[in-house]
Homo-oligomer: A and B are copies of this chain.
Amino acid sequence: MNEPHPQRAVILLSGGIDSTTTAAVAREQGFELYALTVAYGQRHAVELDAARKVAAALGVARHVVQSIDLSAFGGSALTADIAVPKDRSTVEMGEDIPITYVPARNTVFLSLALAWAEVLGAQHIFIGANAVDYSGYPDCRPDFLRAFETLANLATKAGREGKLFHIEAPLLMLTKADIIRWGWRLGVDYSLTHSCYDPSPEGLACGSCDSCQIRHRGFVEAGVPDPTRYAAST
């Protein structure tokens, strides 16, 4: 344990556009990928299937799905019985912290990624955090990610011994269109990914939640065909 493996990286992989593109970027940089998906009691379990398909398509060295029941704590439209907002304007989305905010989600996810990274001897943890389209989420901001990196190096045997961890968020300041263009160049198959907060029982996207709207506009702005299967036309 803890022997450094500089070519290894842990990737938080939700199966959405951002984490999938981030994984493709990490692979392009030469890392061997260890993909971590957290099943946190989210309503959209179809995300997990997307994560598995993406992990297979990217040829990751290992994919771990870790289950946590965040719904035991309650408190978010993604885990509790609160309606997902639909058909909101960009201005409405930009106001305040969204109801879809899951308390401390990225802190929990990064902590688990850190635990695995230390066991693997990996010093790089990739996360698809984005401060542009998700500006309402406190745990997608640069100062949060820097604080987590500081914490990681105090929290671990590896960090204390100078084998420093790096939190990599290559998409942090990109628009959705930028992200899609980058992934497109890297050959990402976005038909495998999933973004909808409120999919149909068959796993089709609703087309009207914030996440569907941001996703669809991203494809349009990037000039890339949207491969998403929608339950209703957008």
Contact = CB atoms under 8 A, between A and B. Distances in A.
A97 interface: yes
A105 B115 contact: yes
Q: Which of under 10, 10 to 19, 20 to 34, or 35 or more describes the interface residues of A?
A: 35 or more
Q: How many copies does the complex hold?
A: 2
Interface stretch (A12-20, A84-92, A151-159, A206-214): A151-159
A74 interface: yes
A119 to B, nearest CB: 3
Nearest to A10: B73
Interface in A113-149: 114-116, 118-120, 138-139, 141, 143-144, 147-148
B70 A68 contact: no
A112 B144 CA distance: 17
**Main SS of chain A's interface residues?**
helix
A67 interface: yes
A73 B119 contact: yes
Contact of A112 (B68, B139, B150): B68
Contacts of A112: 68, 104, 108
A226 interface: no
A61 to B, nearest CB: 14
A101 interface: yes
A107 B155 contact: yes
A7 interface: no
B157 A118 contact: no
A152 B159 CA distance: 20
6 contacts: A66-B68, A74-B119, A104-B115, A104-B155, A108-B108, A144-B155
